[in-house]
Structure 1
Amino acid sequence: MTADDNDSALEPMTGHVELVSDGDNIIVTGSPMAVERFLHAYGLLSSAEALGPQVLGRLARLGSVAAGVGSSIAAESGRWLKLTEESAAELAEIGLMETDVPGISYAMLGDPGSIAGWLKVESGLGSLVTNPAVLAGAAGIMAQFAAQQEMRELKAYLASIDRKLDDVRHAQKNAEPGKLIGARIEIERELGVRDVTGQVDETAWSAVQARGHTLTDLIGWALLELDRLAGKLEDISRVGELAKAAESAELEVQELLTVIAECLELQDALDVLRLDRVLEASPEALDGQRLVLRTNRQHLRERIAETTTGFLVRLDAAAGIAESNVVLHRGHSQAVVHSTNRSVEAIDAFHRPLSIESLRQLRELARWRDAVRDPQQLKNAAAEVRPIALKVGAGLAVASVVALAAKQVPKEAE
């Protein structure tokens, strides 16, 4: 530490903030000016969302059991943000300490003014960490905000395919997706009531909690359908049949992804309502409920990622068959590659709101004139015309087929 650092450490603090994190999200509380200065210093101000008086009021009610805590929280400001890899690494240098609430860490920082940056306050603990009920409440609120952000991202994803959505829904012949309509009506109604009243009463929760089973069943059905679809593609080796199947699969994939996305959006809404209900009825159970929801959420997303990435692997294999048979089937091969690329793009767009990394690359079909110079492509063509070759000679058969195929290829495709 330099002399300047020593001098700045002795300056009176112009404000302090308290940080609470669950590893994926963070809440910053303090005076409005201190919170804004801190977030600005770390380049996080633009991505932080205000907690609002209703949220701070809930924390105040939880803290009312400790003398003075509730009123101090109510007078403060608070902001939430989802951590990225970069912001998590930046804030890790602060050295948040573990608390008695599982998975939750905490730090209190003071601002010595303009000479130095924010400093960790070692002596004395803030209002949040001295009250486990308030800390658990902050953790529950982080879970709610994370669910609401994912809801917004899923809504944006669904809006991005809005022009296709009516066609997708019209094409759905299975009765299963129709169950989403009733679930959405009830859940969105209760969300609206919550936004107005700031709470979820027993009557409201009773009306929607059973919808969770509907959503889980629908997600399970859609994942099984994706597996079935991938299996159909896997069983086809003829390029002409594969072209038809890949084109049909393209629409079905979008249908199934739409169902899953809508279910996840409504599940997030149910999680928000559930946490509010527990906060109202049994605040001591809030942290346990938060951890259960977090675990269930993680397991479901792992299952979704496993199924969708597995589908991409089998889709890639189908495109590989098409790519290796350009000489005799350029038109069908092109159709397969275009359909599989569009399915890959659809799955990548679906993955983004769920923070699932997609590693699949789009396929590019070889030009016909390059394919006829490829020994493997000619070998594949020869294998297909072998029955003819047995009668007229292998070399003549392949040469004849290549010549015939060349006549069918437009000059610009050569």
Structure 2
Amino acid sequence: MNGEIELVSDGDGVAIFGDPREVDLFLSTAGVPSQEIALHQKLGSALNTGSGAAQAGSQIAANSGRWVKLTEDSAKALKLGKAMKGSSDGVSRAIATTSKGKVTKILEFVKPGSVGSMLTNPAMLAGAAGIMAQLAMQQTMDEITDYLAKIDEKVDDVLRAQKDAALAEMIGVGFVIDEAMTVREHTGRVSDVTWSKVQGASQTVATTQAYALRQLDALAEKLEKKKRSVGDVAEVAAEADATVEEWLAVLARCFQLQDGLAVLELDRVLDAEPAELERHRAGVQAARRKRREQIATTTRSLLARMDAAASTANEKALLHPFKAGNVVRSSNEVAADVLVFNERIGIDSTRDAIQAKRWIVAVGEARDKAVEAGGEGVDVVRRFGIKTFEDAKVVGEKLGQEFAERMPQRRSSHDADADNER
């Protein structure tokens, strides 16, 4: 038996509307997690006026709505292909036929009011899109909560230390926003009282975000300035290894709070000016993309500087094997932290771990380059410099001495016992 469902996507997620049985079968067959879209609860007041209010209300009551976060995996599981890429207004809609829980055909793209579309009322589409935006932001907020929980010690060190005024103010604002989200969860709306408590909070959060971004930019600039000296680079890389995750935790919390404010804002607009909801939703999402791009610019710049530092250190591994190895190790640690953070807030980025060059490999490369230069003896010394080879010899002797000093002391004791037996 064939059925019909309506699909609505804003690029961040896809909403599925239709007969509850068809929707449940479709989602269970795809095997993707979903959340309920409480259209009737959210849009009741917005649909109380107009001749189509009663009809719109009955349509909502008769149909089910579920939201799925749109990822590469979920799109593949839902078998949407390129059908839900979004239209010029940022929201794409389609009617699909289903059979045994699977999409058999995308019938057509529809606009509000089209025959067969559940979203016959423009307010319903705007409301659905607004709720979808809220669900996407709340999903990110939950993922950031999980991220912060995994690095709880870092959060304790930075977010709760309150050494900087900007951080202290952000922590206080965070408590207020969290409280407002809790009240909203229990009441289903944002009252005048609740909204009055969070007004002005965005400035504090934005100031803290800018402060954290400056800290990361400063580290990147230090790496650029110190790149000629392996010793200096090693110090800055170690500093980055120790502090980057802390500032990423601050940025994550800022992003989370800004999403929380946006969720509250959309509810407030829906209550006060429902006709403005769609334009406000578009503005909120544009602002969110801009925030994400600002963070991406900083984190990608830091990654590029860390990679450049690791590459430079590897080139000097012959004379500075330990420091070069430390730089590469710090670079990989920082990169891992940044990639996890980027994923949590929706920034696409990839990077392969850099391997530290072993000293013996560096020696071999230096020898090979000398041979390729076409000379032995005097020619080799002339090309690479007497000092370079003398320094390499000293490094080799130091390595041997350090390895010897690190050997277990029990060997000396064993040798002494053997002498006594003689």
Equivalent position of 1:304 in the other structure = 295
1:148 is the counterpart of 2:134: no
Query: Could you give the per-residue CA deviations for residues 50-104 of structure 1, whole angstroms, max 9, x where no partner exists?
Result: 224xx432234434431421123034321001212354466545957989x9322
Q: Residue 50 in 1 paired to residue 36 in 2?
A: yes
Q: What is the TM-score of this pair, normalised by structure 2?
A: 0.81
Gaps of 5+ in 1: 1-10, 380-388
Q: What is aligned with 2:247?
A: 256
Aligned to 1:78: 65
Aligned mate of 2:310, from 319, 333, 336: 319
Counterpart for residue 69 of structure 1:
56
Amino acid at match of 1:401: V
Alignment-derived partner of residue 321 in structure 2:
330
Measure, in 1, the Cα distance between the counterparts of 2:85 and 2:350: 36
Q: Distance in 1 between matches of 2:386 and 2:99?
A: 90
CA distance in 1, matches of 2:293, 2:55: 43
Gaps of 5+ in 2: 371-381, 407-422
Match of 1:138 in 2: 128
Q: How does 1:12-411 map to 2 (within 5 A)?
A: 15-41=3-29, 43=30, 45-52=31-38, 55-64=39-48, 65=50, 66=52, 67-85=54-72, 87-88=74-75, 92=80, 102-111=89-98, 117=104, 120=107, 125-126=115-116, 128-169=118-159, 173-236=163-226, 237-375=228-366, 393-394=386-387, 397-398=390-391, 400-408=393-401, 410=403
Q: Which moved more, 1:393-402 or 1:344-353?
A: 393-402
| Contact 1:27/1:80 (8 A) holds in 2 | yes
The number of residues matched between the two structures is 385
Residues 1:140 and 1:370: Cα distance change in structure 2 (over 3 Å): same
**What's the C-alpha RMSD, in Å, of the aligned pairs?**
3.2
**Superposition deviation, residue 114 in structure 1:** 9.1
More deviation in 243-252 or 141-150? 243-252
Change (3 A) 1:187 1:115: closer
Write the distance in 2 (CA, Å) between the matches of 1:369 and 1:115: 59
Report % sequence identity: 38
Between the aligned partners of 2:220 and 2:309, the Cα distance in structure 1 is 10
Q: How far is the alpha carbon of 1:200 from its aligned partner? A: 0.3
In the other structure, the counterpart of 2:409 is none
Question: How far apart, in 2, do the equivalents of 1:111 and 1:357 lie?
Answer: 33
Q: Distance in 2 between the 1:230 and 1:98 partners?
A: 37
Q: Report if aligned partners of 1:275, 1:289 keep a CA contact under 8 Å in 2.
A: yes
Deviation at 1:328, TM superposition (A): 2.4
Distance 2:324 2:63 in 1: 63
How big is the shift at 1:129?
A: 3.0
Cα deviation, residue 174, structure 1: 2.8
Separation of aligned partners in 2, 1:62 and 1:396: 80
CA shift digits 1:218-250 (9 cap, x unpaired): 111211221111111221132223222211122
Q: Which amino acid in 2 is paired with 1:332?
A: K
Shift in CA distance, 242/46, structure 1 to aligned 2, threshold 3 Å: same
Deviations 1:133-159 (A, max 9, x none): 110000001100000001011111111
Matched residue of 2:364: which SS? coil
Contact map agreement 1:94 1:120 (CA 8 A) in 2 = no
Q: CA deviation at 1:405?
A: 3.4
Q: Distance between the aligned counterparts of 2:323 and 2:219, measured in 1?
A: 19
Shift in alpha-carbon separation, 1:140–1:403, aligned structure 2, 3 A? closer
Whole-angstrom CA distance in 2 between matches of 1:131 and 1:353: 35
Give the Cα separation in 2 of the matches to 1:95 and 1:358.
25
